[in-house]
Amino acid sequence: MEWVVVHKGNNPNLSEIVKSILEDNNIQVVLVNKMDSMHKHLMNGEIELHVNPENAIKAKYIIEKNKL
């Protein structure tokens, strides 16, 4: 199964908040951290939140509704 990216960003705290809100709405979320841990101060790379395709629309709606 191909997972869908519903959120990208370089703020680890915001990504965790979004992940938590989606999980509170019974959406399974996989966080993929593509930031280079050696150079976090450069902010190169992103953190992605992936969900099942069947939950993508609901997840995007929740993110939009919460202005995240």
pLDDT of residue 63: 96
> What tens digit of pLDDT does each residue of 13-65 get?
999 999 999 999 999 999 998 876 655 555 567 899 999 999 999 999 999 99
pLDDT score for 51: 98
- Distance between CA atoms of residues 38 and 51, nearest Å: 27
- DSSP annotation of 30 reads E
More confident residue, 37 or 4: 4
Q: Which two tokens stand for residue 37?
A: 């841990």
Query: What pTM value is reported for the model?
Result: 0.84
